[in-house]
A and B are shown apart, each in its own frame.
Chain A
Amino acid sequence: MTLSRTEPATGSGKPPVRPAASGGGSRAEERRSRRYRRDARWSPYAFIAPFFLFFAAFGLFPLLYTGWASLHNVSLHDPTHMEWAGLHNFSRLWEDEFFWNALRNTATIGVLSTVPQLAMALGLAHLLNYRLRGSMFFRVVMLTPYATSVAAATLVFALLFGRDYGMINWALGLAGFDHVDWENGTLTSQIAVSSIVIWRWTGYNTLIYLAAMQAVPDDLYESAALDGASRWQQFWHVTIPSLRPTILFTVVVSTIGATQLFGEPLLFGGSQTGGGSHQYQTLGLYLYEQGWFNFHLGRASAIAWTMFLILLVIGLANWLIARRLQRSSSQ
C-alpha cells in the first residue's frame, strides 16, 4: 500500500510537471531536472547504505570469515596461520559429548525460560489491557527489568540462589524445607539461570503483546459479549487468535535469544565451564570455552556455524508455520 502511494514521487513514473513560465528549453534546466531525477532515484539507496556497510563489516564479513575459519585448525596464538582441516571441526562435534551436553542444556534452558516467560507475558498483558489507574506506571515498571544489565541482574540472582546464605534457601528453611544447592544440581541450576532470563524478558514481551491487544477491534469483544462470552472466553476465543502472528514473532525472537544464551550462565557461575559437570553450559558458553580458553578458534567457529544453522532451521519452521497460519486465517 505504502509502495504504490510513494511511487509517483520517486520519479520512476511520469517526470514531474514543471511550471511553463520557466522557459522549458534551457539546457541548465534540463540538467537540473535530470539531476533531480537521479537524486530521487538513487538517494534512498544512499540513505540505507550505512546500515548495509555496517552490516557487511560487522555482520556478513565475520559470518563468512567464521565459516572459512571453521574449515581450518586455527589457534588463537597465531590466528593468521590456518591449517586446512576440511569438515573435521564439524565431524568431531558429532562425537563431542560436551557439545551434545551444551546443546541439550541450551534446549532445556530455552524451554524452561521461554514457556513460562511468554505465558506470563500474555497474562500480564491481558491484565494491563484493562482500564487501570496509573497504567503508564505499570507499563514502565514492566520494562525496568529489561533495562537492567545482564551482569547486574545475574549478580543479584546468583546471590539469591546462594547455597549457604542465599535468600531463596533462607525462605525454604523458614518453610521447613532443606537447603537446595542450586548451582550444583542440573535441573536446579538450569531453573536458576532460566529465572534470570524470565525476569529480564517477561516485561518486554508483555509490552509487545499489549500493543497487539490494543489493535484488536473493540467490536469483536462487543459481539462476543453480546453472545454471552465470559472474560475468559473472550481472552481465549478473541484475544489469542488475534495475537497469533505476534505470539509467533515472540516465540521466534525468544528462541533465537535462548539459542544464543551466554551472559547469564557465564556470570551465574563466573566460569566458562558452566558448573562442575557443565550442567548449565550452553552452546554460547561452550563456544567461548573452546575459542577463548582452549584457544581453538577453528572449533569455536564450527560451533558458531552450527548455532547459525540451528537458527536457520528455526527460521524456516517459523516461515512454514506463519504461512499455514495465514492460509487458515484467510479461509
Chain B
Amino acid sequence: MHTSRNTSPLHRTSHLRHRPGSRRLTASGLAAVLAAGLLAGCAQDGGGSGSGTSADGKTVVSVGVFGVFGYKQAGLYDEYEKLNPGIKIKENSTERNEDYYPALLNHLTANSGLSDIQAVEVGNINEVANLHSDKFVDMAKAEGVDKSAWLPWKWDQAKAENGKVVGLGTDIGPMGVCYRKDLFKKAGLPTDRKDVAELWAGDWAKYVETGEDYMKDAPKGTAFTDAAAGLYNGSVSSYAVKNYDRDGKLIYKKSEAVEKSWDLAMQAVEGKMTGKLKQFDKAWDQAYANGTFASVICPPWMLGYIKEKSGPKGADAWDVAAPPRPANWGGSFLTVPEHAKNKDEAVKLAKWLTAPEQQAKLFEKQASFPSSSKALSLPAVADAEHEYFDDAPIGEIFSDAAKDIPTAVLGPKDQLIQENIGNIGILQVEQQGKSPEEGWNAAVKKIDDAVED
C-alpha cells in the first residue's frame, strides 16, 4: 500500500501516513514538493557516493528512508553507534515516497547513489522483489536472521518468486475502527468498544449495516464514516486475493474481493452515510476538527493524526474498536542493495533495527506498530493503551488484528489499481454524482491504459 511516514516532531502532522494510492500531500510536504525530486536526488547521491568511511576512520553506514522512520528520533542510531564504536550511521531522508521510490529505481539502474540500507514501502515491495531481486541481498540467508520472529504474512510480502527475501519487515498497519462515542450515543448505538466491535464482527457488510442504523437517527450534519474509499480499502485489504491471483495474473475486474468491496462502497454512497471526503485532504482534517463523521477505519499510525486533527475538543469522544475483519494498511521493509558500499555492516544494522526489542522501542516512541510477532508479546506493546482514545488497549486490539491478517497476494500494480479505484471510480460516484457503472468504467479505463505496455 502506498503510505508515507512522517512522525517527526518538527512536522505538524504526526503519525501520519497516506492512504494506499492516495497521493494526498501533507501540509509539510506541500512546501517542498516541487523541489523534492531534485533534492531527493542530491540527498541520495550525497549519502551513497561517499567513500563509506568517515574522517575519523569509522565505517559509515547510510540509511535511505522516505518521510520519517523515527529511528533517529527514537535514539536507535545513537544506541547502535554506542554498541558498535566503529560505526557511524547517516540517514538520507526524502519527504515523500512518490519522490523516493523513482529515485531508488534510478539508482538501482545506475548502480550508484545507493544508500547501504534502502527502505521500501509495502506498496512497492512486490515490484522490487520480483523485478529487481538480483540487485538485493537475500535477507533470509543473512546470518542470525530468524524468520519466525516476524509475522508470517509480513515476511512473505518481501519474498520474490524465486524464494529470495529482499527485505526485513519494519512496521505494519493492522486496521481498527476509530469511532466517536458522543455521536454513536446520539444515534442510539452502543458506545462500549466491545459492544461496538460486536456490531460488525466478522463482516464488513455489517459495518455498512451499522451505518444504515446510524443514519436513521444521525445527529444533524454528521455522516457515519469519512469516505467510501476508506471503506473500500478496509474491505479489500481483508482478502488474501484481490488484484492478482496466485499465478500473478491481473484479475481485479472479476475478483471477489474487489467486487464485494466495491459494492459495499457503493452501498455506503447510496445510503449517504459517507462524509464525501478525500482522506488526507484539508477538508478531511477540518472534518475531524468539527466532528462531522462518526467513524474511520484506522491503523495504529493514524491515531496520532486523529488526535492532532480532532484536538482537545475531541478528547473525550474518540475510542477504538476491533475491525470487522483483520486487514493491513501500510508498513515498510529495510533492504540492502548488492552494490551497497558496506554491505555486511548494512545487513547487521538492518537486522538490529528490525529486531523485536528495537521494534518495541520504536512503537513506544513513534507509534510504529511492530511486524515482529515476538515484539507483539513484549509488555511495551501488549499492554499499551492510548490515553486520547479513552485508554483503549491498542496493543491488544491491533495485535489481535495483526495475527489474523491474511497473507495477501501482492502484485506490481496494486498501488496504481487502488489509487484509480479510489480516486477515480469511487470519487466520481461519491462526489460527482455519477452512476456506479460510470465510475467503475472510468477506473477500469484508466487502469487498462496504465498497465498496458
Q: Which A residues have a C-beta under 8 Å from some C-beta of B?
A: 73, 76-80, 96, 98, 149-152, 154-155, 158-159, 162-165, 181, 184, 263, 266-267, 270-273, 276-277, 292-294, 296
- Given the complex, which residues of A lie within 8 Å of B27, measured CB to CB? 155
Partner among A96, A152, A276 whose Cβ is within 8 Å of the Cβ of B31: A152
Closest to B280 in A: A270
B24 touches A165 (CB 8 A): no
A96-B449, A276-B428 known; 9 new pairs, CB 8 Å cut-off, are A78-B131, A151-B32, A162-B282, A164-B283, A164-B286, A184-B431, A267-B33, A277-B424, A294-B449
B102 touches A294 (CB 8 A): no
Q: How far is the CB of B293 from chain A (nearest CB, A)?
A: 11
Interface residues on B, range: 35 or more
- Given the complex, which residues of B lie within 8 Å of A164, measured CB to CB? 283, 286-287, 292
A79 touches B283 (CB 8 A): no
B432 in the interface, Cβ–Cβ < 8 Å?
A: yes
Partner among B287, B290, B423 whose Cβ is within 8 Å of the Cβ of A271: B423
Q: How far is the CA of A120 from the CA of B420 in the complex (A)?
A: 39
A76 touches B102 (CB 8 A): yes
Partner among A96, A276, A296 whose Cβ is within 8 Å of the Cβ of B427: A276
B25 touches A267 (CB 8 A): yes
Sampled A-B contacts (5; CB under 8 Å): A79-B109, A96-B449, A184-B431, A273-B420, A277-B428
B207-237 at interface with A (beta carbon < 8 Å): none
A292 touches B25 (CB 8 A): no
- Given the complex, which residues of B lie within 8 Å of A155, measured CB to CB? 27, 30
The 4 tightest CB contacts between A and B, nearest first, are A276-B427, A294-B450, A276-B428, A270-B25
Closest to B31 in A: A151
- Given the complex, which residues of A lie within 8 Å of B127, measured CB to CB? 77
B109 touches A78 (CB 8 A): yes
A276 touches B432 (CB 8 A): yes
Closest to A273 in B: B423
A79-B106, A151-B31, A155-B27 in contact; A165/B428 too (CB < 8 A)? Answer: no
B78-119 at interface with A (beta carbon < 8 Å): 98, 102, 105-106, 109
A-B pair number, CB within 8 angstroms: 87
B30 touches A151 (CB 8 A): yes
Q: How far is the CA of A293 from the CA of B102 in the complex (A)?
A: 9
- Given the complex, which residues of B lie within 8 Å of A79, measured CB to CB? 105-106, 109
B267-319 at interface with A (beta carbon < 8 Å): 278, 280-283, 286-287, 290, 292
A149 touches B31 (CB 8 A): yes
- Given the complex, which residues of A lie within 8 Å of B424, measured CB to CB? 273, 276-277
Q: How far is the CA of A294 from the CA of B23 in the complex (A)?
A: 13
Q: How far is the CA of A159 from the CA of B34 in the complex (A)?
A: 19
Q: How far is the CA of A16 from the CA of B199 in the complex (A)?
A: 98
B442 in the interface, Cβ–Cβ < 8 Å?
A: yes
Q: How far is the CA of A159 from the CA of B446 in the complex (A)?
A: 28
- Given the complex, which residues of B lie within 8 Å of A149, measured CB to CB? 31, 34
Q: How far is the CA of A164 from the CA of B291 in the complex (A)?
A: 13
Q: How far is the CA of A152 from the CA of B30 in the complex (A)?
A: 8
Max chain A C-beta neighbours (<10 A), residue from B131, B427, B432: B432
B106 touches A73 (CB 8 A): no
- Given the complex, which residues of A lie within 8 Å of B292, measured CB to CB? 164
A270-B24, A272-B23 in contact; A162/B102 too (CB < 8 A)? Answer: no
Max chain B C-beta neighbours (<10 A), residue from A158, A270, A296: A270
Partner among A78, A163, A270, A294 whose Cβ is within 8 Å of the Cβ of B416: A294
Partner among B32, B131, B281, B287 whose Cβ is within 8 Å of the Cβ of A270: B281
A277 touches B423 (CB 8 A): no
B431 touches A98 (CB 8 A): no
Closest to A263 in B: B34
Q: How far is the CB of A175 from chain B (nearest CB, A)?
A: 21
A292 touches B449 (CB 8 A): no
Q: How far is the CA of A273 from the CA of B325 in the complex (A)?
A: 31
Q: How far is the CB of A154 from chain B (nearest CB, A)?
A: 8
A73-B453, A77-B127, A181-B431 in contact; A277/B442 too (CB < 8 A)? Answer: yes
A271 touches B23 (CB 8 A): yes
Q: How far is the CB of B143 from chain A (nearest CB, A)?
A: 30
B283 touches A162 (CB 8 A): yes
A271 touches B24 (CB 8 A): yes
- Given the complex, which residues of A lie within 8 Å of B282, measured CB to CB? 158-159, 162
A149-B31, A151-B33, A276-B424 in contact; A76/B23 too (CB < 8 A)? Answer: no
Closest to A166 in B: B283
B24 touches A77 (CB 8 A): no
Q: How far is the CB of A150 from chain B (nearest CB, A)?
A: 6
Max chain A C-beta neighbours (<10 A), residue from B23, B27, B98, B428: B23
- Given the complex, which residues of B lie within 8 Å of A292, measured CB to CB? 98, 102
Q: How far is the CB of A98 from chain B (nearest CB, A)?
A: 7
- Given the complex, which residues of A lie within 8 Å of B434, measured CB to CB? 277
Closest to A297 in B: B102
Q: How far is the CA of A329 from the CA of B275 in the complex (A)?
A: 61
- Given the complex, which residues of A lie within 8 Å of B109, measured CB to CB? 78-80
Q: How far is the CA of A46 from the CA of B342 in the complex (A)?
A: 43
A184 touches B98 (CB 8 A): no
Max chain B C-beta neighbours (<10 A), residue from A158, A184, A263: A184
Max chain B C-beta neighbours (<10 A), residue from A73, A158, A276: A276
Q: How far is the CA of A102 from the CA of B218 in the complex (A)?
A: 41
Max chain B C-beta neighbours (<10 A), residue from A77, A159, A184, A292: A77
B406-453 at interface with A (beta carbon < 8 Å): 416, 419-420, 423-424, 427-428, 431-432, 434, 442, 446, 449-450, 453
Q: How far is the CA of A78 from the CA of B107 in the complex (A)?
A: 10
Q: How far is the CB of A93 from chain B (nearest CB, A)?
A: 12
- Given the complex, which residues of A lie within 8 Å of B102, measured CB to CB? 76, 292
Q: How far is the CA of A79 from the CA of B102 in the complex (A)?
A: 11
Closest to A262 in B: B34
Q: How far is the CA of A184 from the CA of B434 in the complex (A)?
A: 11
Q: How far is the CB of A294 from chain B (nearest CB, A)?
A: 4
Q: How far is the CB of A266 from chain B (nearest CB, A)?
A: 8
Q: How far is the CA of A103 from the CA of B282 in the complex (A)?
A: 28
Closest to A152 in B: B31
B416 touches A293 (CB 8 A): yes
B31 touches A165 (CB 8 A): no
Q: How far is the CB of B13 from chain A (nearest CB, A)?
A: 14
Closest to B128 in A: A77
- Given the complex, which residues of B lie within 8 Å of A181, measured CB to CB? 431
